[in-house]
Chain A
């Protein structure tokens, strides 16, 4: 038990370190900007005096490491700085958007995870059968679709042709029901995109376990097919499957960007795209950092869950 705590502590430390290095990259990346933010914002025509004044206002006259420390300690206190585009505190912009994005991802996950696991397990059990081949072909096809293609096809059929659902997330009347109605199409798009990946990875994980010699041994002991799955395959497949689920949740968080733009959904992805177009660099930095942190956190969770479900690590010599 001690060993496993050490392992987890180790992994946590790596996670924190990674996050810190990522924050350095995101901060330093901006200083690689040709010219700097001040000329960027004010334009080439601005007088040197105005540029200098603006630089002081942004704190650009300070040495790099001081700026980094100030930036990081601000973030740790929930202060991401001010937007260049509309001069509002970035934290006001970001947090409402983040919760919208998480809601959308959660709704998609609730639909996608059970579906993907069920399909993956069935495909592994009847591998090389008709069901497996059909599902293989279908998922291979759907992996190949760009997200916006899936989104527009859904809009065309479920919204334009039949009028079942609204095509724009923002067009709701403000009630909770209206909000959820507006989320269904984007969530459905995300589900379709992520299910194929998750299902294929689940199948691969299970097929790997089912090919193990101890499964053959269980057959030779007279264990029934159900017993083989529940007692022998699943305990060993659990770690890889959990890994698959969490990794795909991470994928979901990122995949949300395109879907939000298509459906004009007021989430973090939409904000980031807008800010990139406006070259609102502090907001881009904040969004990048939040996306990266979420992604790192989910990967960390996957690793830790894989550790605690691995019998070889759990019961050391």
Chain B
């Protein structure tokens, strides 16, 4: 059983970050307490300061950051006042860290097992064989394949989910009192995430190890944390037991986070198809990415294309728009055959299909003002220039709920949500019939994403445009899609009305995909792992 007592006590922690030569406070007096064996979830949107706080628990500030006040007491001793050599004795051994992208945080030059053993070796344990045995043991516990030989591989030789679990094993090497998990599943697909979450849980449950679990996903943290602290812009919003927080949130901000899922709309039937894809195949070089795809996109409705990374869903968008020429197969748009590449399509055809990208940061030219970005399609397609163009740009900005004054700014001066709205405005400036949305909300914080989705569905109600929504997020699908296509390894494995796919999936993979989506329910992971072990 766990020993009682306070392990970590953070008092009024203040951290400053440098930007453009000036120091600004990014953590503004945060206090928290962690008992032995306890798991505290830190949740918040980007810029909330949660990772910075997590690293402070190891007495570490990233280059460009500095501690400016408060204490981080680990077993009563202040980490912020310790010497580097004292900190080294604690780090890795008593307090360990698990990073978001294991691929970057593992040293490419060494085998996994050597990086595991190093943790013990630098803290004075010289028995290599015993350390290696421990590694095998942990690899087995965390469900890694062939644990005896797994460690012999180099980081780039194993998959992302396995690497993340190897990093958790490395963190557990010294039987630490505290592990800081910094968004360990954010970069993973949902079906992979389940395995890593189970690994995190087996690391913290039933042991004396306490954990700080940092994430932006409430449903994920609900599975592992005993208590949850909500952070916003470097300050605490509220803190409560996990059950209490989920059922009766005390603050309005938390309540909005809990209900950030968009409202679910009724499925609508369609008459006629705008886009017909027949037996389409495409490759990058010698690698086949799309294989015999046939899809009918209903007119005036929203079709969602769902799949994990590598399923070929984004490639499909590139082929439809003409950025990538297909190997075989045909595309018919509004009855007419589409040219294979952008060069073979008339300007009018290009205008009628618009693409909105995932990352608004890379989709907007940083050296063009918003007014230039929105004005260009108007000039190119309709010959609108000067005053008339300026008026239309202002109207477009209003349509996407932005102030017309933003036309004078560069993209770098806008927030993430504002940028994505500019991208939407650029797409509708061309007055298209089909809008392809490629993961348009996945780079955004949940509340901002909700606003974008609402905007898109309102616009569809007014204009009746057809949407093709490419996403990995089944919650979005549930909210906005009329029909759903499920893709895996470049093939369509299921295609039907939304309710049919989500409520009674026929394909095993679709079933697993749906089951893997984390639910706010505290017992979701238990039920899922219990079921999968019963299957075996």
Report if A and B associate in a common complex: yes
The interface of chain A, by Cβ under 8 A from chain B, is 212-214, 216-224, 227, 231-232, 235-236, 311-312, 315-317
Q: How far is the CB of B176 from chain A (nearest CB, A)?
A: 11
> Could you tell me if B91 and A219 are in contact, using CB atoms closer than 8 angstroms?
yes
Q: A311–B123 Cα gap in the complex (Å)?
A: 26
Q: How far is the CB of A233 from chain B (nearest CB, A)?
A: 9
> Could you tell me if A221 and B119 are in contact, using CB atoms closer than 8 angstroms?
yes
Q: Given A214-B104, A236-B107, A312-B156, does the pair A220, B58 have CB atoms closer than 8 Å?
A: yes
- Comparing B92-100, B143-151, B364-372, the segment that makes contact with chain A is B92-100
The 6 A-B pairs at the shortest CB distance, nearest first, are namely A221-B92, A222-B92, A235-B109, A222-B91, A213-B104, A214-B107
Q: Given A221-B122, A312-B156, does the pair A212, B104 have CB atoms closer than 8 Å?
A: yes
Contact among B89, B93, B106, B157 with A217 in the assembled complex (CB-CB below 8 Å): B106
> Could you tell me if B154 and A217 are in contact, using CB atoms closer than 8 angstroms?
no
> Could you tell me if A236 and B122 are in contact, using CB atoms closer than 8 angstroms?
no
> Could you tell me if A311 and B88 are in contact, using CB atoms closer than 8 angstroms?
no
Contact among B88, B101, B109 with A224 in the assembled complex (CB-CB below 8 Å): B88
**Using Cβ atoms and an 8 Å threshold, which residues of chain B touch A220?**
55, 58, 60, 91-92, 96-97
> For residue B63, which residue of chain A has the nearest CB?
A211
> Could you tell me if B157 and A214 are in contact, using CB atoms closer than 8 angstroms?
no
> Could you tell me if A217 and B109 are in contact, using CB atoms closer than 8 angstroms?
no
Q: How far is the CB of B333 from chain A (nearest CB, A)?
A: 40
Contact among B55, B89, B154, B156 with A222 in the assembled complex (CB-CB below 8 Å): B89
Main secondary structure of the interface of A (DSSP, over half): helix
Judged by a CB distance under 8 angstroms, whether B23 is at the interface is no
**Using Cβ atoms and an 8 Å threshold, which residues of chain B touch A311?**
108-110, 154
Q: Given A220-B97, A223-B118, A224-B122, does the pair A214, B91 have CB atoms closer than 8 Å?
A: no
Judged by a CB distance under 8 angstroms, whether B277 is at the interface is no
> Could you tell me if A317 and B107 are in contact, using CB atoms closer than 8 angstroms?
no
Most interface-central of B89, B91, B96 (chain A CB within 10 A): B91
**Using Cβ atoms and an 8 Å threshold, which residues of chain B touch A317?**
156-157
> Could you tell me if B122 and A214 are in contact, using CB atoms closer than 8 angstroms?
no
Most interface-central of B55, B92, B93 (chain A CB within 10 A): B92
Q: How far is the CB of A311 from chain B (nearest CB, A)?
A: 5
Contact among B87, B93, B96, B108 with A214 in the assembled complex (CB-CB below 8 Å): B108
Q: How far is the CB of B97 from chain A (nearest CB, A)?
A: 4
> Could you tell me if A222 and B107 are in contact, using CB atoms closer than 8 angstroms?
no
**Using Cβ atoms and an 8 Å threshold, which residues of chain B touch A216?**
62, 105
Q: How far is the CB of A243 from chain B (nearest CB, A)?
A: 16
**Among residues 362 to 380 in chain B, which have CB atoms less than 8 Å away from a CB atom of chain A?**
none
Interface string of B65-105 (1 = CB under 8 A from A): 00000000000000000000001111111001101010011
**Using Cβ atoms and an 8 Å threshold, which residues of chain A touch B88?**
222-224
Q: A231–B122 Cα gap in the complex (Å)?
A: 12
**Using Cβ atoms and an 8 Å threshold, which residues of chain B touch A227?**
122
Q: A315–B111 Cα gap in the complex (Å)?
A: 10
Q: A218–B60 Cα gap in the complex (Å)?
A: 12
Q: A317–B158 Cα gap in the complex (Å)?
A: 8
Supply 7 A–B pairs (Cβ within 8 Å), ascending by A. A213-B101, A214-B106, A220-B96, A227-B122, A315-B156, A316-B157, A317-B157
Q: A192–B90 Cα gap in the complex (Å)?
A: 46
